[in-house]
Structure 1
Amino acid sequence: MVRWRKNLYILMAAQFFVMAAMTMIVPFLPLYLQELGVTDPGQISIWSGVIFGVNFLTAFLFAPLWGKIADRQGRKLMVLRSGFGMAIVMVLMGFATGPWSLFFLRMLNGTISGFIPASIALVSTNTPKEYAGRALGMLQSGTVAGTICGPLIGGLLADAFGFRAIFNITGLGIAVAAVAVLFLVKEDFEKPEQAEKTKTSDDFKRIAGVQPMIPLYTVIFLVQFALIGVNPLISVFVGELSGREENAFYAGLAVASLGVANMLASPKLGKLSDTKGAQYVLFGSLIGAVLLSIPQAFVTNLWQLIAARFFVGLCLGGLLPAANTLIRQLSPQGMESRAYGFSNSFLFLGNMLGPAAGGLISAALGMRGLFLISAAILGAAVFVMYTKVIPKLAQRTES
């Protein structure tokens, strides 16, 4: 098998295991806090939000640093650093003695994280350019599949083995993925003879000077901000539509329908990026996401919501793979991982701010209003693509 294809398939499987392991803890985090001695419902809500969010905060801060090291030492090394580091931290979470120890371990986990960004950088730099879109789309499918399966598997295992044992299982799953990468993934990387010592701010200025990198980063932020802001509140809306108090299964189905469609569409739209241009796939997918997000505000029953979210998911499959393909094309030579590091900082920023903003908007306008605001934010991303990204890319092609 051609090396880049072998790397792709192994990293797809590895990302599935890592994302499934990372999302296993989502269903029972509030319950684990109760086991750690937090009994007040208000305190449980606060601690759950803070502990969940601090992982994104430290990941946002450290992503550029790991990107710089990857450009100097190799992307595979960063995949292994993140994989084995997170495996150890996950096991330690099973020995937490209270909310503060869990908080600091989640903070540490975000600091050393970066398995997914490093894998994206490794695949994009070791895949022929004519296949880059397809490869990144397939990689996205592995990530999304793990995200879908993780909460389900975590809930089942928590019932069977208890909360603390899940962290051991999670750590083992990540370690297995890292071992597979260690022995099976081969990277074509030439270490720079004399790496230039630069500040992170100088790296950002150089990358930002490549047009239209900053507008592209802005699109990534807007997409994450709009979509992640809706997801945590889906269960509330499902309860309103179904009239049931026990709606966890249907809420999970509504969230999973979007993920399944994303997983199915990513390889196809990635392949289309290679033939038609990633910027046009990204632009078209954004328009589709806007138009199909609006009907969610007007659904009258649960199955209409599930169907609407499935169709939105089909469009989402073309967003991040196409954006990552463009970042690879625009990155200065030898700075590819740093470009992805800054991209992931924008993505993590959307992950942090989206849920908080979504909660405020939902409280003021209701869930139907939140769906419309989310569509408007995606519309802003369409505007950025139309006015900043596509014209600049056309200028680069002409010159």
Structure 2
Amino acid sequence: MIYKEMPLSWKRTFITLWVGCFITGLGFSMTMPFMPLFMESIGSFSRTELNFYSGFAFSATFLAQAIVSPYWGNLADRKGRKLMCLRASGVMTFTILFTGMANSVWMIIGLRFLQGAFSGYVNNATAFMAGEAPEGHSGAVISQMMTASVTGNLIGPMVGGAIAGVLGYRAPFYIVGCLMALVFLLTLTTQEHFTPISAKEMKPMKEIFAGLSNRKLIYTMFITTLLVQSSLMSISPIISLLVKQLMHNQGNVSFVSGVVAAMPGFGTLLVAARLGTKMDEVGPLKILLVGLSLAFVFFIPMYFAHTPMLLGFWRFLLGMASAAMLPAVQTVLTKSVPHEAFGRIFSWNQSFQAAGGMFGPMLGSAIASVFSYQSVFLFTASFVLFDLFLVLAFRKEA
């Protein structure tokens, strides 16, 4: 194993950032499943109002992230990734703690917008370790870092739901805030070997895009990231309300919501490594097309699911399909852009991903208000189908 051959300082940095990514994923997902229930507990809202506020709270984080990601990507290329990790974990500490103290939905929405504007710990920690990895081993290191955040996202909803069910909805926010303070302190101890790049030496984005021979494919990948993320996030703000409806408001809704929310993570974790190997063998575009096709198929039965168990089962399968989508997009971008443009191209892709995280919840909340919670799955299935045809149309440019 590569880790046995590396010096002790490298191992400490790797373990520290791995733990940081795990806690960040854990903390972000711990509070997601019951956010609408938390809002419901601090005010009196109609179903339409609750759907709107829930969707707005989810989208606020991603709206801010979509706006500022290119700026942070540019700054990271000039100042280093460690500073970006400290910025993200430090701000997240306070925004999450104050969210737990919120007494109005607008305070929650404002804090989540601020959190999104300063987010990016996982992406920067992954880039940090990729830069520190020895030649020929960056793929293995990046894979391990991605496993940390996926594992945290997987466990988070169940842990958060269990804590909320026992101690109330505010307790998980206080716990996550303390954990993020720990991440900040741990990150402070890491060592980064970074060579700054002056602003004058960086090519403008217009010049970079003008030099790409396969611009249409790059744009298609950006749109794919947007549509896939929108589809995956569309049910997020109302999943606890859907589970509550399916359970007829009986039993521990917070915990069951957490389990249902976590099921895609189980599916992704099960097949991610195997799909990564297969992607190198047959090419990322083929894997992407398979993932989109399966996601479309798995969304349809969710509309007919009448128990949380059935909904969780189909979300588990959707997680397996999602492992073949966004990673494939990132691999296509890696192989399609020059090395010196990686940072900013990926920051633009991150902006599209954040935009999907913004539009998906808002659209899902609107659809649920007009039709039903289950109708969201039919609309998102149509997005995936459209994207499938779009990728088919432009894959020849690969």
Is TM-score (shorter-chain normalized) higher than 0.5? yes
Q: Where do residues 10-29 of structure 1 align in structure 2 (5 Å cutoff)?
A: 10-29=16-35
Greater shift, 65-74 or 330-339, is seen at: 330-339
Judge conservation of contact 2:31–2:172 (CA < 8 Å) in 1: yes
Q: Where do residues 167-246 of structure 1 align in structure 2 (5 Å cutoff)?
A: 167-184=173-190, 186-192=191-197, 195-196=200-201, 202=206, 205=209, 211=215, 212-235=217-240, 238=243, 245-246=250-251
How far apart are the structure 2 equivalents of 1:225 and 1:52? 12
Task: Kindly state the Cα deviation for residue 378 of structure 1 after the two structures are TM-superposed.
Answer: 1.4
Q: Choose from 351, 357, 369 the match for 2:363.
A: 357
TM-score normalized by the length of structure 1: 0.81
User: Per the alignment, in what secondary structure is the counterpart of residue 189 of structure 1?
Assistant: coil
Greater shift, 371-380 or 57-66, is seen at: 371-380
How far apart are the structure 2 equivalents of 1:139 and 1:214? 27
Judge conservation of contact 1:285–1:319 (CA < 8 Å) in 2: yes
User: Per the alignment, in what secondary structure is the counterpart of residue 189 of structure 2?
Assistant: helix
How far apart are the structure 2 equivalents of 1:114 and 1:77? 11
The residue type equivalent to 1:371 in the other structure is: F
Q: Where do residues 114-125 of structure 1 align in structure 2 (5 Å cutoff)?
A: 114-125=120-131
Task: Kindly state the Cα deviation for residue 275 of structure 1 after the two structures are TM-superposed.
Answer: 3.9
Judge conservation of contact 2:36–2:237 (CA < 8 Å) in 1: no
User: Per the alignment, in what secondary structure is the counterpart of residue 334 of structure 1?
Assistant: helix
Q: Say whether residues 1:79 and 2:85 are aligned partners.
A: yes
Greater shift, 239-248 or 163-172, is seen at: 239-248
Judge conservation of contact 2:293–2:388 (CA < 8 Å) in 1: yes
Residue in 1 aligned with 2:320?
314
Structure 1 residues 392 and 181: alpha-carbon distance in aligned structure 2, compared to 1, 3 A threshold: farther
4+ long deviations beyond 6 Å: none
How far apart are the structure 2 equivalents of 1:306 and 1:130? 39
Task: Kindly state the Cα deviation for residue 221 of structure 1 after the two structures are TM-superposed.
Answer: 0.7
How far apart are the structure 2 equivalents of 1:239 and 1:34? 13
Task: Kindly state the Cα deviation for residue 354 of structure 1 after the two structures are TM-superposed.
Answer: 1.1
- Which structure 1 segments of 5+ residues have no match? 394-399
Give a deviation string over 1:264-323, Cα, whole Å, max 9, x none: 222222233334433332232222222333333445655443332222211212222222
User: Per the alignment, in what secondary structure is the counterpart of residue 113 of structure 2?
Assistant: helix
Q: Say whether residues 1:109 and 2:115 are aligned partners.
A: yes
Task: Kindly state the Cα deviation for residue 57 of structure 1 after the two structures are TM-superposed.
Answer: 1.4
Structure 1 residues 138 and 382: alpha-carbon distance in aligned structure 2, compared to 1, 3 A threshold: farther
Greater shift, 372-381 or 211-220, is seen at: 372-381
Judge conservation of contact 2:147–2:269 (CA < 8 Å) in 1: yes
- Which structure 2 segments of 5+ residues have no match? none
Task: Kindly state the Cα deviation for residue 370 of structure 1 after the two structures are TM-superposed.
Answer: 3.5
The size of the alignment, in residue pairs, is: 389
How far apart are the structure 2 equivalents of 1:250 and 1:165? 18
Greater shift, 122-131 or 143-152, is seen at: 122-131
TM-score normalized by the length of structure 2: 0.82
Query: Over aligned residues, Cα RMSD in angstroms?
Result: 3.5
Residue in 2 aligned with 1:69?
75
User: Per the alignment, in what secondary structure is the counterpart of residue 26 of structure 1?
Assistant: coil
Task: Kindly state the Cα deviation for residue 129 of structure 1 after the two structures are TM-superposed.
Answer: 7.9
